[in-house]
Every structure is written in C-alpha cells, then in structure tokens.
Chain A
Amino acid sequence: MTDTRPKSFQEIILRLQNYWAEQGCAILQPYDMEVGAGTFHPATTLRALGTKAWAAAYVQPSRRPTDGRYGENPNRLQHYYQYQVLIKPSPPNLQDLYLGSLRAIGIDMDLHDIRFVEDDWESPTLGAWGLGWEVWCDGMEVSQFTYFQQVGGHDCTPVSGELTYGLERLAMYVLGVDHVMDMPFNDPMSPIALSYGDIFKQTEEEYARWNFDIANTDVLLRHFEEAEVECAAILSHDHIDPKTGKRIIMAHPAYDQCIKASHMFNLLDARGVISVTERQAYIGRVRTLAKQCADAFVLTSAGGHTPESEWL
C-alpha cells in the first residue's frame, strides 16, 4: 500500500492487482471473449457455483454496444474495463477488505464520505441474483458489492462475495479527470505519454458506427441461433468421453456459446431490431442456456462433484 496518489489509469489497475494479490486472490487474466460485464467471466459465473472455495481477481474488458457515444460523452463507452473480485465463501471482513482496496488506490478515508447504499443485483440473462450495495464515494458510485444468492437458477452454497469496480469512472475520480478521453493511461511523465483517448477514441468511433448502423443483423441473428443450438448440442453428449474413457462434461465450451449468444443479443439490441416484447423472449433464451451450463458445471469436479456425491 502506498500513500501517494496514483498518476495514471494503469497504475490504479496495477495497485488493485497488487492489493488483491496480497489478500490472497489468484490474479487471473481477462476472459478471451466479448462479454457485457466481468460477471460473465466463467471465473465468476461458474465458479460461484458448487462447494469449492475460490478467490480470484481480474480485469475484464466489457462491451455494451448500446452505450457507445463515438467517444464524445465524458462518461460513456461501448468498451470499458471492469475490475472483478470473487471470493467464496464470502469472508466476514469483506467490507474491510474492500475499503482497504480504496485506500490502496489513494482514497483517503479521513477526507471522503464512503457509503453503502442498497442495490440488489439481478442478471436476468444469467438467472442470477444477489443482495448488496452500490458503494458511494462522495455521492459517486464507485463499485458494486454483492453477496450472490443464486446463479443459473442454483442456490449458492456457500455464498460468494463479488466486488465490481467500474475502472474508468473510479480512475477519473481518483485522478481528477472530467473526460474519460483525457485520462492519462500511462504515467504522464513517460517518454511516450498516452491518454485514454490516444488508445480508445478512434476505436469508440469505429465500433459505435458498426454497432449502431453497419453490423449485419441477419448474420448476428444467425450467430445467435447457432450458438443456442451448439450450446445444447455440446451438453447433450454422454458424460463419458468414448475416446479417453474419462468422464468429461463440457460445461465451459457450452458456456462459451452462452456468452456468444448474449453478446449477439446485445449487438442486435444496439442495432435497434429487437422490439420491447421480443427483448424478454431473447433474454429468456440466453437464461435457458446459462441455466443448462450451470446444471452441467455442478456435475463437474470444479463444480464440487465427487464420485461419491453421484450416489447421494
């Protein structure tokens, strides 16, 4: 921990990584697929299920096509970063651990007003919900704090504690920057200083145009349907792999298809081709996939399955 204020976006990320590493979390890398939020990473969605203890932290690039503003809005991006921590079972001092992470990134608790304001979290696409708060620092939401109660329709026992930091917003506040594109990405004193805008302004424009106007909706729809079919197909295979003779339930490959379907839905939504009534139906279809994947995961060894439990 350091008392000095961080100088850049990346320093805030590095400090969070160090802090949570010191607390004993496995520092994972981002999941290599397009997701809407850090929760979609299987390290959260799937690992919150079952009885095995777990502690992981990671940065997750996240995409919300409808939030694109061509890089012009000071706070909204279609591609942004979340910092995600998941600890199972939730430790009794999780609030204190969390406050420690704010200190680590230079927020002085003696000068700021930190509040835990009721915010119940629900993900209709993941069939998941939990209770917790949004954490306010001087009236600004800097994190989501959730005790998972259900994921994929399964009760979480034990319960995981999940922390999600919206990195850009948090960093802008800590660094005192008003427009995300002006935020220093690396140390502004570096030989080659780069701002957030240097890295992402152009991509925000490109993706905003593609997301809103260009993406081929027929192709997206086909991808959605293919992912849906593939997910079910993967899970329909016999648990015993005929080639190796091992018990291999393909929960993760199936879940990849669920993630893909979810992202296709988000893109279709941004293209404005999904009506209000259809929305619910699409969300329900993704939820069905998420549930099937959760059902499969709890039958795997990472999901707490043991040969003995089969007979219980």
Chain B
Amino acid sequence: MPDLLIELFSEEIPARMQGKAAADLKKLVTDGLVDAGLTYAGAAAFATPRRLTLAVDGVLAASPDTREERKGPKVGAPVKAIEGFLRGAGLTMDQLEERETPKGAVYFATIEKKGRPAADITGVVLEGTIRNFPWPKSMRWGTGTLKWVRPLHSILCILSDEAGAAVVPLEVDGIKSGDTTQGHRFMAPGKITVTGFEDYAAKLKKAYVVLDAQERADHIWEDAKQAAFAQGLEIVDDQGLLREVAGLVEWPVVLMGDIAEDFIELPPEVLQTSMREHQKFFSVRNPKTGRIEKFVTVANRETSDHGATILAGNQKVLFARLADAKFFWENDLRTVKSVGLAGMGKPLENVTFHRELGSQADRIARIEKLAGEVAPLVGAKPDLAKEAARVAKADLSSEMVYEFPELQGVMGRYYALRADLPESVANACEMHYSPLGPSDDVPTEPVSVAVAFADKLDTLTGFWAIDEKPTGSKDPYALRRAALGVIRIILSNDLRLRLDRFIDSQLLKHEIAQNADAADAAELAALESTLDEIADHGVFGAAFRAVLDKLDGDAPAIGDGTLLGRIEAKMPDVSVDLLGFFHDRLKVHLKEEGIRHDVIDACLNMPGNDDLTLLVKRAEALAAFLKTDDGENLLQGFKRANNILSQAEAKDGVEYSFGADVKFAEDDTEKALFAALDDAQSAIAPAMQGEDFAAAMTAMASLRAPIDAFFEAVQINTDNQIVRRNRLNLLARIRDICHGVADLTRIEG
C-alpha cells in the first residue's frame, strides 16, 4: 500500500498559527480520503515557519469497487415513475432487471461503481483542503485569487510504494504539484527532490531544517538549560515563549548573552517583560540571588563566527530596550520620591475611565470609600484599606506601565515600597487586580481583599447603572470576570457579607454621581441620606422610605418623571438584575466544582441568598445529602407529600398550613410521624440557627422512615373530612420543615 507525502511550502507562517494548521491539514486530508473510501494506517503532521507537512502511511492504492442494488417501481408502473427511477440510478431501461416479488413483478437496478485510484482522490481532496483551509487570517497576493496565510509557493504531493514515487498531479491557482521542496532559506538554498517521508525528513535535516516543532522546542530547551547550567544559572520557565520561538526557526541555534551591569538592578519582572515581549529572549536567573543576569536568544542559523555577530547585534538591541526601561524606572522613582505614589496618580484626573462613569480619579475615589466600608467585614483596618485603594492604580500613570501595560500592579508594588508605604498597601497595589481568571490566585491579605472587592464591585455596579451589561459573547469590560472575581474572593476567604447592601449603596453612588448636575440640593440631600441609611436597612428601598418618612412634608417630589421617582423605580430592578448576574456566575463556578444546577437553584430560593458563603455552604451540604440513600428517599417522600398537598390545595382552594393535631391521628404510623416531626423540628431549628446545614439535613433524613411508613399505611384522602384535613395539615408540616432547609421542589428527579 502506498504512502502519501504532502508539503505546502510558503512564505513565513506566523508562529502562533503553525500548530493548529498542521492539525487542520491532517484532519481535512485524512477525513477527505476516508470519505472517498481510502483508509490508511497512520498519519502525522508537522509545521515549520515555511511549511506544513503531512505524512500518511498505508493508504489504499484505490478505493474499493462498490455495488448497490435498488428496488424500483412495479413492472407496468407509469412511464414517468420508471423514467425518474432510471435518472436517479443513472441507468438505461435495458440494464434493469425484473424480479418476482410477493407483490408482483418489480424493476431492480444494480449500480456498480469502480473504485478510483488513490492519486485521483488525493488530488481532489488536497485541492479542496487548500482552497478551504481554516486559517484564522488569510490573504491574497499578486494577481491570484487563492487565499493562504502568506503566499504559497509550492505543493509537494507524492504517493510512493516499492515501485517508486509518483507525483499526484494537481494545480491550484497556477501552482502545480511536484516532488521538490527547499531547505533552509540561507544555509541550504535550492531545490531538493524527495521520494517519500523518510527521504524527505532526512534530506531536510541535511538542509538545516528540523521538521518537528517539538524536536525544535526540546532542542532549544536542552541547549538553553545546558548553557545556563554551565555557568551556575537557570532558565526562567516560559513554555509559551518556547512554543513561539520554536515556530520562528527551522534550525535553532541557542546563544546566551549578557545583560549589561547597568540593568541588573531593574526589577526582574521588568527585565523579563522587556526581553520577552520585544525580543523573544528567555531570562536566565541566578538561583542564589534571584536576579536575572543573562539572556538566551534563539537564532535561525549557524555562522562561521559561531554566532558572535548575531549575539552582538541582539545584545545591542537589548541594551537600547533596557536603556529605555531604565529611563522609565528612574523617572518613575524620581516622581514617587518628589510627589509620592498618590501624586504619581494625579494625572488620572484627566484620564477618562468611561464616558458615563467619569475619570479614573473619580473611580478611585469611589473604590476608596467602598474599600473603607467593607474593610471591617474582611478584617482590614479601614484607614489602611482606603490608603491602599488611593494608590493602587497610581502606577497607571507611570512611564513603565505606559510602555508595558502588563506590568500594572507589579510596578505599583515596587513604587509603593520605595515610597515607604506599609507592606500590606504595597501588596494591595499588585494583588487588587486578582483574581484575573478562574485559576488565578485570590488575594488573602485583608487589605488586598478589601481593595480587590471594592474595585470589582464598583466596576460592576457602574456598568449596571448605565446599562452596559454583557450580552452573548460580548463582554468588552470583562464584567463576567469581575463578578467571578468577587465570588472567588468571598468564597476563598470565607467572607460573611450581604452583597445586597453593597450593591445598592454602590449603585446609588453611581446614580448620585451621574445626576449630580441635574439634581437640586434637596434631591441630592435625600439621596445622600439614603446612602447613609442603607447600611442600617440593608437595601435601598427600605432606606429610601425611611428617609422620606423622616423628611415628611419637606421631602422633594418623587412622582413620575421626577429625578427621585426615576431612581426609586429603577434601583430595585437593577439591583435584582445584578444579584441575578452574580448568581448565574456562581452557578457556572459551582458547576465546575461539581455541584448540580438544580441543587444551587434549591438554595438560591432561600432567604439570605446574597450571602454567598452561606449559600454555598447550604448547597454543598444539600449536594452531599442528596448523594446519600436517606437523602434520595427523603426527597421522594417530600415530593409525594408536596404533590398530594398541592393537588388537594388546588382542588379545595385553601392552603393547608396549620393545625395538624395528633389527637385526630388514627394510625400508629401517623402518630409516629407526628413524634418524628416534633423531634426533627427541635433538632433542625438550632442547627439552622448555627448554620450547621449538615446537622439540619441529618435531622431531616430521620424523617425518611416515618414518612415512608406513613404513606405505606395511610390513605390521605379518606371520607372522614376531619381526618383528611388533619392529614393534609400534617403533610404541610413536612413541607414547612423541609422548606426551612432548602427549596426541594427545585430538585430534579
């Protein structure tokens, strides 16, 4: 069976696209072959900066012949029907066969298709693959219409077996297939003819091309480690950079160079970022000092001077880059020294955060206030939290962060320490951005927690206040990430706080800021007073009414169309919507932790659902409970009770909720259930008080046996109306007790 070799040779393919392109080539071609009836033994794809290669072993020499029998119309059927059948089968009348069937004589057609040679199929499949290749970005060139990632120069496509290799003929946009490729652009220019994959890979290696990206990466990593180790140093791990660099070279040559003494005192993050982002250099660290002392660059060729010229050039470029970085660092330190870190952030007054949400300085002032308010609940000193919030974003005005935005926070920490601010404040500069993703570290130091929480909640409430919420895949302000951040900060730190209060007060602050110009003094005063009251009342509505009550006849107008009327109407909806957004993010988060959505729904339906720590404790206990036999059976018992009760209530038009009395109990199981409910209730109440959900659920589980026995022995809907009503009221007690723990009606199954 022949082997297939394909190479698509082009101008330089972006490093980041090579891996997926090789995989796509493999999938598209092998799927195409198989669809056409050509099976194969194995396939492997490769990519270098200038080529995508696919080797398919053991391809069938031709697709198998096929034979298909089709039953047609009856003999004597209308001519039109027979003609239609012939058209579909691609046959003529004389090729049909008449056969007797139990229903009479029927025409049968036998359609035979000869297999096609592998070369024919491959040519068609490859042409289709090239024309429809899923590049993330592609282009045209010259006068052609073909789209490829960069100009495509040649197509190598051969089928080879014992008899030798044959070119699979195809032509795409004027490019004819052949059996030649090229080696390294500089070290081995010229055409190479190949006869099969092994020949190809061996000839390429001789022509200074390592075909396999992983082999290039391993080679770079090993050589770099060796070079560093020989001098008692270590390479800073960076797999992303390694992958990228392996996609920039066909013949990797590792060169290690020095970082001039002038720059070694720069923060290691600055050296690393500058070297990685601009030069794609690896950082080389001295394990004893933790300092970055050298760099590794990867050239694409060997030279007669063993890379001396290349290294000198790279060193020179790095010198210029680091001179810039040092210049920024020193300027920033000078700024911090003369005006302090808060002073460095002064220009943020003139930087717009969002057209409707004011400047960065306005934002920082809001975060500062909120951080102070939340501080006691997270164990931070309010003054420290406020100080940290004041300076946490100051480095956005630094020259270093202007140049390297990814160093935001990191630089703030350095500058805070240089400004002799407390360490917890310095740490908050860096950590308040966290967590950035689902696996990023969550801040734990109280001051950082307070600022991180305040920052994210202010952003969320701000965008909710101006109705800029994420829709579908659009989330330009990363609000989902911010909400998940708040959730993870609360859960990881076991924080006990009512989100409602903070959502409402922060939303109201945004409303006040946005309406400050339009509002009159009395309106503003009423809103400010409401803000003060929210802490006591928990939510906006109650606080607002309390303020109006106090103002009595002096209250500003709140009718339709007035400012206060509009805010009063809008606030609760926006607040509920934002809390719902948190709950949705929480569901996604808990689902990833293995908690089912219906379990979460059962807990969301309980009071206090804006206390996320409590909510999750309840959900975890319920999830664990439902996994036990008792839990599962109790759930069934509860559902049975609830169904009977709901039906009876619907039929009778009353709600059975009170008055079950043991004196009307007729059956022993009925009496036992009364006793069990009393016991459970007296155990559940203190457990719920103490938020010990596991204990409450254990107590609930003790109801399982009595409920089962009760349903076994007793007919609820008896003719005796007194007994019936008493039993329905008894079922209502089951419902109430269970409802106190979680809304079990939400549980599926």
Where the two chains meet, the residues of A that have a C-beta atom closer than 8 Å to any C-beta of B are: 74-75, 89-92, 95, 109-118, 120, 130-133, 137-140, 147, 149, 156-159, 161, 173, 178, 275-277
Q: A110-B186, A131-B150, A276-B351 are in contact. Are A140 and B313 (CB under 8 A)?
A: yes
Residue in chain B with minimal CB distance to A139: B314
Question: CB within 8 A of A111: which of B149, B304, B320?
Answer: B304
Please report which residues of chain B, range 501-525, place their CB below 8 angstroms from some CB of chain A when the two chains form the complex.
none
Please report the C-alpha to C-alpha distance between residue A147 and residue B149 in the assembled complex, in whole angstroms: 11
Please report the C-alpha to C-alpha distance between residue A120 and residue B320 in the assembled complex, in whole angstroms: 24
Scoring B residues 289 to 322 as 1 if CB is less than 8 Å from chain A, else 0, what string do you get? 0000000010111011100011011101110100
- B15 → A minimal CB distance (Å): 7
Question: CB within 8 A of A120: which of B137, B248, B299, B309?
Answer: B137
Pair A118/B16 contact, Cβ less than 8 Å: yes
Pair A109/B317 contact, Cβ less than 8 Å: no
- A177 → B minimal CB distance (Å): 11
Pair A158/B300 contact, Cβ less than 8 Å: no
Pair B313/A138 contact, Cβ less than 8 Å: yes
Residue in chain A with minimal CB distance to B311: A138
Chain B residues, CB < 8 A from A140: 313, 316-317
Q: A89-B143, A275-B352 are in contact. Are A117 and B309 (CB under 8 A)?
A: no
Pair A92/B303 contact, Cβ less than 8 Å: no
Please report the C-alpha to C-alpha distance between residue A133 and residue B351 in the assembled complex, in whole angstroms: 33
Chain A residues, CB < 8 A from B115: none
Chain B residues, CB < 8 A from A178: 316
Q: A139-B313, A276-B352 are in contact. Are A92 and B142 (CB under 8 A)?
A: yes
- A158 → B minimal CB distance (Å): 4
Chain B residues, CB < 8 A from A113: 299-301, 310, 313
Please report the C-alpha to C-alpha distance between residue A101 and residue B305 in the assembled complex, in whole angstroms: 23
Q: List 14 A-B contacts (CB under 8 A).
A: A91-B142, A111-B309, A111-B310, A112-B309, A113-B299, A113-B310, A117-B12, A118-B14, A120-B137, A138-B313, A138-B314, A139-B297, A149-B139, A173-B316
Please report the C-alpha to C-alpha distance between residue A116 and residue B153 in the assembled complex, in whole angstroms: 16
Q: A111-B303, A138-B309 are in contact. Are A157 and B314 (CB under 8 A)?
A: no
Question: CB within 8 A of B320: which of A74, A130, A132?
Answer: A74
Pair B300/A115 contact, Cβ less than 8 Å: yes
Please report the C-alpha to C-alpha distance between residue A2 and residue B318 in the assembled complex, in whole angstroms: 30
Q: A91-B142, A118-B15, A276-B351 are in contact. Are A111 and B305 (CB under 8 A)?
A: yes
Residue in chain B with minimal CB distance to A114: B186
Pair A157/B313 contact, Cβ less than 8 Å: no
| Those 9 A-B pairs whose CB atoms lie nearest each other, nearest first | A138-B313, A118-B14, A116-B12, A139-B314, A113-B299, A158-B143, A131-B139, A111-B309, A89-B142
Chain A residues, CB < 8 A from B149: 131
- B402 → A minimal CB distance (Å): 12
Question: CB within 8 A of B139: which of A91, A159, A173?
Answer: A159
Please report the C-alpha to C-alpha distance between residue A92 and residue B144 in the assembled complex, in whole angstroms: 11
Please report the C-alpha to C-alpha distance between residue A276 and residue B186 in the assembled complex, in whole angstroms: 45
Pair A112/B142 contact, Cβ less than 8 Å: no
Chain A residues, CB < 8 A from B334: none
Please report which residues of chain B, range 331-387, place their CB below 8 angstroms from some CB of chain A when the two chains form the complex.
351-352, 355
Chain A residues, CB < 8 A from B301: 113
Please report the C-alpha to C-alpha distance between residue A157 and residue B149 in the assembled complex, in whole angstroms: 17
Pair A137/B139 contact, Cβ less than 8 Å: no
Pair B304/A138 contact, Cβ less than 8 Å: no
Chain B residues, CB < 8 A from A109: 186
Please report the C-alpha to C-alpha distance between residue A120 and residue B137 in the assembled complex, in whole angstroms: 10
- A257 → B minimal CB distance (Å): 30
B226 sits at the interface (CB 8 A): no
Pair A147/B313 contact, Cβ less than 8 Å: no
Please report the C-alpha to C-alpha distance between residue A113 and residue B252 in the assembled complex, in whole angstroms: 11
Apart from A117-B248, A140-B316, A147-B139: 8 A-B pairs, beta carbons within 8 A: A90-B142, A90-B151, A109-B186, A113-B310, A116-B12, A158-B143, A159-B140, A277-B352
Chain A residues, CB < 8 A from B142: 89-92, 158-159
B11 sits at the interface (CB 8 A): yes
- B541 → A minimal CB distance (Å): 35
Please report the C-alpha to C-alpha distance between residue A210 and residue B248 in the assembled complex, in whole angstroms: 43
Chain B residues, CB < 8 A from A120: 137
- A133 → B minimal CB distance (Å): 6
Residue in chain B with minimal CB distance to A176: B316
Residue in chain A with minimal CB distance to B49: A116
Pair B313/A173 contact, Cβ less than 8 Å: yes
Please report the C-alpha to C-alpha distance between residue A130 and residue B352 in the assembled complex, in whole angstroms: 32
B95 sits at the interface (CB 8 A): no
- B655 → A minimal CB distance (Å): 57
Pair A139/B15 contact, Cβ less than 8 Å: no
Please report the C-alpha to C-alpha distance between residue A90 and residue B186 in the assembled complex, in whole angstroms: 22
Please report which residues of chain B, range 1-28, place their CB below 8 angstroms from some CB of chain A when the two chains form the complex.
11-12, 14-16
Please report the C-alpha to C-alpha distance between residue A253 and residue B305 in the assembled complex, in whole angstroms: 54
Residue in chain A with minimal CB distance to B50: A116
- A119 → B minimal CB distance (Å): 9
Chain A residues, CB < 8 A from B682: none
Pair A95/B15 contact, Cβ less than 8 Å: no
Chain A residues, CB < 8 A from B323: 74
